Structure 1
Amino acid sequence: MVTLKHLSVNDNDEDSVPLLPEASSLESPTTQHSRAESREFFLSRRNNFILSIALLLSCYSAILVPAYLPTPEPTWTNDSSAETLALQNQSCRSGWSVERVRTLSIPAGLLKIPVFLENSTGDWALPPPLGLQGSEEMVAQALKALPYTAVPTGPETCRRCVVVGSGGILHGKNLGPHIDQYNIIIRVNNAPVFGYEKDAGSRTTIRLIYPEGAPSQSQEYQSTELVALVAFKSLDLAWLISVITKEPLSWWSKLWFWKNVIDSIPLQPENVRILNPEIMYRTGQVLKTYAEQQKKMVPTLGITAVVLALQVCDEVSLAGFGYDLQHPGALLHYYGSLRMDAMNTQVVHDVSAETILLRELVKSGAVRDLTGAL
């Protein structure tokens, strides 16, 4: 006991109990344990609820989202394509396409046409592009500068050919390795190979061109065996002579082309031909049987290339053919940005009649459609 001026205070030692105990010490251990369990229970329920919602949303996403995603188109690969393996292993059927054409009701005018111009071939009675009337002198000059007029080299017993069209249907099909396995690969105008090998292949046996449509990039002539001029006008023959002889056209002549033309082609004269215009004429005559309006029929280079293939090939396949005119926003070509509605502005060709003819050829088995748009 310590006394300070009449005030007495007990002096507690260190081991004594405090006069004012902590408030928490008033709760019993049982109460503290119960509250801890309750807190853990509610925290566990909240976590389980959040986890359940997350799992439920994941399940719905896995089921519903794929239904709204675009279905990827099947692609062709050099390793896994059954079609590629079939081409490698299947024996070629000699004369198959010609025999199937003969089963059709169309006139036999699509067969037995000399492919390239020689001095003794050609219908000279009609003006270009269906004949050579008025162009005899220039034709003679051009043929004099061309050392060869024969068809491309290849198997003598049986030839497999593919005509590669420019259609947008070819985009993304990965058909390039398959196309490259054919004996003869035919292309038209400036449809590019360089940069599009995956879809369009890398080789060219025959490229049909006219001056305004000839490729301007030199790499497009690499791995190309022949180019063949399709003369739509007499001036086209003058352009070809200029390309072969390296003598430039006059500026006056160049004014009459509807588009700038190239001055040279990085190929030798032995790699140049002139398409027999009789192919254009006889193809146009057949197309008239399918046309709604009877008029002068100028075939596209695409259908012309198919008829050319029927003259030199035992089996003919097509890739990149078919206009999807029901979808004007679809790509017109497998390259570039031109859309399908551009076909509605042209008046020279009857693509509807050509589509009917091609479908008949496919249906009969005379040609095979690799891209499935016909």
Structure 2
Amino acid sequence: MVSLNRLSVEDPQDVSPLLPEAAEPKVTTPVEHEREAMPRKDFFISRYYRRNLDKRTHSYSLLPPPLPPQEVLNLSAWLLSGRCQRRWCVERLKQLPCSSALTDIPVFLRREGSTACWDAPPPLGLHGSQEHLTRALAFLPQVGLPETLRRDGGCRRCVVVGSGGVLHGSRLGLHIDQYDVIIRMNNAPVLGYERDAGSRTTIRLIYPEGASGSADEYNKTSIVALVVFKTLDLDWLTSVISKQPLGFWSKLWFWKEVVDDIPLRAENFRILHPEIIRKTGEVLQKYSQKQGRSIVPTLGAGAVVMALQLCDHVSLAGFGYNMQHPHAPLHYYETVRMAAMKAQVVHDVSSEKLFLRELVAAGAVSDLTGAL
């Protein structure tokens, strides 16, 4: 459960409070008791969307400005201090046409009894990878969900920490660390960015080329979960766990140099079930203007769908690409600009944004940094 002993709406490096302690947050959030009388529309539409309502057309701006830091902290504190309600996300998902595709998805691969999408190649399945998967699973002493992440436990809150530049300056770090489950992707760093991004990691989703080469980044990490994009990724995982480096020719098939070691024990590794990626891609197809081809979701979108399987309340921080501001920082930890996203052709970020906005509007997830 969440401990609020250190939770505050004050900046730990600032002597003045961002808001008076008695001030009540001005953002409507889904933690209030369901019995309270409140119009359905206002209950689920957060203030930064209402703020951009065009009174003439009754439509919402496609570019809601990010929340100011004090509102970010206030919203986060309000969410964390509210009563945790079992199956909150699942119940809100029922409002969406795609709700049935977003629930009851297996999270991590097991040795037996798992349907691993043998009819599709990675990342949407594992067709052609059976032997490589069997070998990798043999090196994993523990597979499937650990006891701490099973739904039969207590009410649980997740935060999925994206890499978006909007996280920079948010001062959300202490709040992020209060969540029960903290999910990160690839090599998004925590060292040096604790003030905005927090320091703990429950699950870090990675693929080989995206794994951090800094051993210290794994100090407070519980699980590293491999997302299989190609068969060779399974061999890489086997190599990392067994401490037997890949051969020279195998390494040539990676599009960039990969790390040989991750300083965690074998029981800290898992393999993400490809159904997470597959189901996410199928849902994104409904929002895409690029019909007729399979969509490969970003790890961020897959992480959100994974969080919906694990937690009763899900919050997002650092999500939202604003392609109309090409010079804005793409990530919170580097100088790459938003324009770089136009060069990539693998992911459909526009459909992902529409999908995530609909989750926010339904109350299934909360957007802490307000850039969706």
**TM-score bracket for the superposition, by shorter chain length:** 0.7 to 0.9
- Cα contact 1:287–1:354 (8 A) shared by 2: yes
Distance 1:300 1:88, change over 3 A: closer
Match of 2:240 in 1: 243
Higher relative contact order (CA 8 A, sep 6+): 2
After TM superposition, give the deviation of residue 98 of structure 1 in Å. 1.0
- Of 326, 329, 336, the match for 1:328: 326
Residue identity in the other structure for 1:246 = K
Q: Give the whole-Å Cα distance in 1 for the aligned partners of 2:341 and 2:133.
A: 32
Q: Give the whole-Å Cα distance in 2 for the aligned partners of 1:277 and 1:89.
A: 34
Q: Give the whole-Å Cα distance in 2 for the aligned partners of 1:192 and 1:363.
A: 29
Query: TM-score, normalized by length of structure 2?
Result: 0.78
- Note the alpha carbon deviations across 1:74-104, whole angstroms, 9 max, x for none: 4359xx9544543453210110011111111
After TM superposition, give the deviation of residue 106 of structure 1 in Å. 2.1
- Cα contact 1:324–1:340 (8 A) shared by 2: yes
State yes or no: 1:98 paired with 2:90.
yes
- Cα contact 1:329–1:339 (8 A) shared by 2: yes
| Aligned pairs for 1:1-374 within 5 A | 74-76=68-70, 81-119=73-111, 120-121=113-114, 122-152=116-146, 153=148, 156-294=153-291, 295-374=293-372
Deviation beyond 6 Å, 4+ runs, structure 1 = none
* Alpha-carbon RMSD: 1.7
Structure with larger Rg: 1
After TM superposition, give the deviation of residue 149 of structure 1 in Å. 1.7
- Note the alpha carbon deviations across 1:285-334, whole angstroms, 9 max, x for none: 11111110111210000000000000011000000000010000000000
Match of 2:17 in 1: none
- Cα contact 1:107–1:286 (8 A) shared by 2: no
- Cα contact 1:164–1:200 (8 A) shared by 2: yes
- Cα contact 1:76–1:175 (8 A) shared by 2: no
Residue 281 of structure 2 aligns to a residue whose secondary structure is helix
Residue identity in the other structure for 2:132 = M
Residue identity in the other structure for 2:316 = L
Aligned length: 301
- Cα contact 1:316–1:368 (8 A) shared by 2: yes
Q: Give the whole-Å Cα distance in 2 for the aligned partners of 1:162 and 1:320.
A: 10
Distance 1:88 1:165, change over 3 A: closer
Q: What runs of 5+ residues in structure 1 fail to find an aligned partner?
A: 1-71
Structure with the higher fraction of residues in helix conformation:
1
Quick check: 89-98 or 152-161, which moved more?
A: 152-161
Q: Give the whole-Å Cα distance in 2 for the aligned partners of 1:185 and 1:248.
A: 30
Distance 1:73 1:273, change over 3 A: closer
